[in-house]
Amino acid sequence: MKSITVLLLIFGYISASQAAVSLTVDGLKATLKNKHVELNFNANAQIITAKVDGTSLQARGASSFYLDWNNNGQGYFHPSSIHIVEQTADRVHFYWLQKNIQKVFRIELHYIMEAGLNGVYSYAKYTNDKTYNLTLAETRTVYRFDASIMSQGTNQQRSGILPTTKELNQCTTIQDNTWKFPNGTYYTKYDYVAYLRQTNYQGVYGNGFGAFIISPSREYHGGGPLKQDLTVHQECLITNYFVSSHFGTPPTVAAPGWNHIYGPWLIYFPTGNNNAIMSSVVKQVTTEQSRWPYAFVKDDEYPRTRGQVSGKVHGQKSATVVLWSSLDEDFDKQQLGYLYSAETDSTGYYIITNVRPGTYRIAAYPTAGSGSDSLAESRVTLAAGAREHVALTLNEPKNIIWSLGQANRLSNEFKYSDQPRNYKWATLLPVNLNFTIGSSDPKQDWYYAQPPGHWSIKYQDTADGKGRILRVALAAVSRKPHLQVFVNGHRVGNIYYGNDQSVYRSAMNSGTYYSNVFNVSAAQVVSGENSVSIYMTLGQIMYDVISLQRG
């Protein structure tokens, strides 16, 4: 009996040792492993080998697990030291530190591994420790894996086979990272762009293995509720953008003393057949959301006691509510703070949970109706653990004669807008178009985007001695379009725009939003057939909603 007990104790010790997590440091090199995952990093915090259950998944001869940025040239993370935060049999938490580099942020790149988990957590803390502003056009982490093992990609909004470099070399290059295959179809890395705050996971998988980024919160990203960015693309690559100038977001300009925590996220390695892998990912998302905010982050800049903001939107009850901490930035351009958003229910009620303590701007914009210029805003200060109530009112315009689309900052009611992102859709847009209110169908006869040309809207009206208000809301503007708007031959609008890079990079619903309100005099209204003519030279635009209101 005694010998059996000893054997059981020995077996238990061996099992516990195999399940434990360990960290080995050699200068700036590190090896992190548990029962399932082994990661070997070089002195620049990039992967040398990545093994899951003994199988190597890293891409041969290519950089992976790297952190970089772009500001008039690409820069890479170059740490000068390693620091251990926690090291037990159940959890290891350490980080590399980069500091004292001219015109570059102080950056901590953290990794946390727990015993028994098929993955590793990571986050980055950026600090401007200089006496001058620092700028970032974009910054991200990138994970590249073996494309011969994992050939499929997904970002929750789209899934498919990712092409290899060898395949793309047989294609015709159209523009940056956009190719035309011999069979006439197109591929671009922008096909797998996604709305980040609608995306909890992105990854690659196949042949029994998967590699995914799971993001239980998107509070730390730049941009607003409709911020979109690259997620996965060719050659089995996962991108994790913190901020970027893609699709119209401005650069980050950080003052001295500014700091920000990006993350944490989980780099997850599920195994099994494809269905089992995807089921495991969905289940793990729920697990990570229940753990947020994570207890293993011990930093005053990452408060674990959070608050809640709720309330009602009156007037137009169908709305998006946005809460953001960078008080000097508009929410769709914000880069410096933390942002949360929620959709209202059928009664106009909203709730936003797990909010960091602080002072916030809060705004609501419509997701239905014709009030494309309607925006309600207030401020709220939230203490740790507090619950605040904020009511907002969105004015819905009355006496609408006709409306083409719904005010939601998206072009999602029009032709092709429901199709998967692809370069080809922009090649199918008509130069000239005639649309008749009452007989034409927006889903078939009005397109998600307009190229240079002339589009016309015909409608019936009656001269009644009153003016009209014409709202033309744009969901995107690409390649510096010049827009001229005429009502019955009278020019009421003449506007030049910038370039949000959206339409020609496969965006189907939005880029940078613009609300335009044009006044039409009573003398410009005629009885019988009237027309709105939109002439565009250069560029491309997307429409959110166009509406005509009796003044």
Distance CA 87, CA 264 (A): 18
Residue whose C-alpha is closest to residue 222's, from 132, 121, 139, 122: 139
Tokens 């070089």 correspond to 42
Distance CA 493, CA 483 (A): 7
What value does the mean pLDDT of the chain take? 95
pLDDT at position 73 is 83
Residue whose C-alpha is closest to residue 484's, from 492, 474, 494, 475: 494
Pick the CATH number of 2-291 from 3.10.310.30, 2.70.98.10, 3.40.50.1700, 3.30.70.260: 2.70.98.10
Phi, psi values for residue 4, rounded to 5°: -65, -40
pLDDT at position 110 is 99
With H, G, I as helix, E, B as strand and everything else as coil, classify residue 9. helix
pLDDT at position 18 is 57
- Average pLDDT estimate for 471-482: 98
Q: Which helix (H) or strand (E) holds 23?
A: strand 22-26
**Token digits for 178?**
């956009």
Bin 219: left if φ > 0, else alpha if -120 < ψ < 50, else beta. Answer: alpha
β-pair partners for 229: 194
Q: How confident is the model at residue 10 (pLDDT cuts 50, 70, 90)?
A: very low
Class for the domain spanning 400-550:
mainly beta
Q: How confident is the model at residue 14 (pLDDT cuts 50, 70, 90)?
A: very low
At 38-69, the pLDDT tens digits run 999 999 999 999 999 999 999 988 899 999 99
**Token digits for 154?**
């997904």
All residues at 6 or more sequence positions from 214 whose CB lies less than 8 Å from its CB, including other chains: 119, 200, 201, 265, 266, 268, 281, 284, 285, 288
At 109-128, the pLDDT tens digits run 999 999 999 999 999 999 99
Q: Is the pLDDT of residue 3 over 70?
A: no
Helix residue ranges, H only, 456-534: none
β-pair partners for 446: none
At 163-202, the pLDDT tens digits run 999 999 999 999 989 999 999 999 999 999 999 999 999 9
Let me know: does 341 contact 350? Beta carbons within 8 Å.
no
Q: In the chain, what percentage of residues exceed pLDDT 70?
A: 97
At 232-262, the pLDDT tens digits run 999 999 999 999 989 989 999 999 999 999 9
Q: How many CA atoms lie within 13 A of 547 on its CB side?
A: 24
- Average pLDDT estimate for 405-427: 97
At 492-540, the pLDDT tens digits run 999 999 999 999 999 999 999 999 999 999 999 999 999 999 999 999 9
At 188-199, the pLDDT tens digits run 999 999 999 999
Residue whose C-alpha is closest to residue 376's, from 328, 469, 310, 314: 314
Let me know: does 70 contact 137? Beta carbons within 8 Å.
yes
**Token digits for 269?**
């390695």
Q: How confident is the model at residue 72 (pLDDT cuts 50, 70, 90)?
A: confident
pLDDT at position 11 is 40
All residues at 6 or more sequence positions from 192 whose CB lies less than 8 Å from its CB, including other chains: 153, 155, 158, 162, 230, 231, 232, 233, 421
Let me know: does 507 contact 452? Beta carbons within 8 Å.
no
Q: How confident is the model at residue 83 (pLDDT cuts 50, 70, 90)?
A: very high
- Average pLDDT estimate for 18-27: 90
β-bridge pairing 319-324 and 134-136:
unpaired
Numbered ranges of CATH 2.60.40.1120 in the chain: 307-394
Let me know: does 344 contact 319? Beta carbons within 8 Å.
yes
DSSP for 317-382, written as a single string: -SEEEEEES-TTS-TTT--SS-EEEEE--TTSEEEEEEEPSEEEEEEEEESSSS-TT--EEEEEEE
Residue whose C-alpha is closest to residue 517's, from 549, 539, 480: 549
β-bridge pairing 387-389 and 376-382:
unpaired
Numbered ranges of CATH 2.70.98.10 in the chain: 2-291
Class for the domain spanning 307-394:
mainly beta
Distance CA 466, CA 485 (A): 20
Numbered ranges of CATH 2.60.120.260 in the chain: 400-550
* Residue 384, number of CB atoms within 10 A of its CB: 12
- What does the H/E/C string look like for 268-284? ECCECCHHHHHHHHHHH
Let me know: does 237 contact 177? Beta carbons within 8 Å.
no
